[in-house]
Amino acid sequence: MRINNSHIKTCFDLAKTSTVRRGKVGAILIKDGGGIVCKSTNMNIYGHSKKFSIHAEEYIIKKAEKMKLFTRFPKEKFSLLVVRWRPLTNKLGNAMPCINCQKILDNYNLNVYFSNYNGEIKQYK
C-alpha cells in the first residue's frame, strides 16, 4: 500500500482540527485497497482536576478496535499515516510515534508512516 498525496492532504487537514493547542496531529487508517477506514486526531481529555491528552495513534487504534476492524479483516494489511501540522509555517512537522505509541502499534499488522522534521513521509515499520 502506497501513501498518496490525497491521503497526506486528508491527514494534514484533519490535523488542523485537533483540540490540542500545540502539536496538532492527525492520523488515518487505510485499508490495503487505499480506502480510509478510520480517522483521528490527538485531543485533550478533561478529568476531575487535570487535563490529559491522547495521542492520535493511540486514539485511532481504540476507534479501530471499537469498530472491530482488526477482527473483521484479520488478514488485511492496514497502513497508518500520522502527520503533524505546524501552524506557523502551515507545513508538515515531525510526527514520529513516541515510544509508548510504538509499543501499541507493534501489536498490530500495520505499515506505519509519519511526517518528519523536513515534511517528508517516512516509514516506521
Residue 51 has a pLDDT of: 65
- Please give the tally of structural domains in the chain: 1
Write the pLDDT tens digit of every residue in 61-87.
999 999 999 999 888 889 999 999 999
Write the pLDDT tens digit of every residue in 91-110.
999 999 999 999 999 999 89
Helix (H, G, I), strand (E, B) or coil at 66: helix
Domain range enclosing 45: 5-123
C-alpha cell at 100: 509508548
Residue 27 has a pLDDT of: 98
The confidence band for 125, taking pLDDT boundaries of 50, 70 and 90, is low
CATH number for the domain harbouring residue 14:
3.40.140.10
Q: Are 63 and 38 in contact (CB under 8 A)?
A: yes
Residue 53 has a pLDDT of: 87
Q: How many CB atoms lie within 10 A of CB 41?
A: 22
Write the pLDDT tens digit of every residue in 1-55.
689 999 999 999 999 999 998 889 999 999 988 899 999 999 988 766 666 889 9
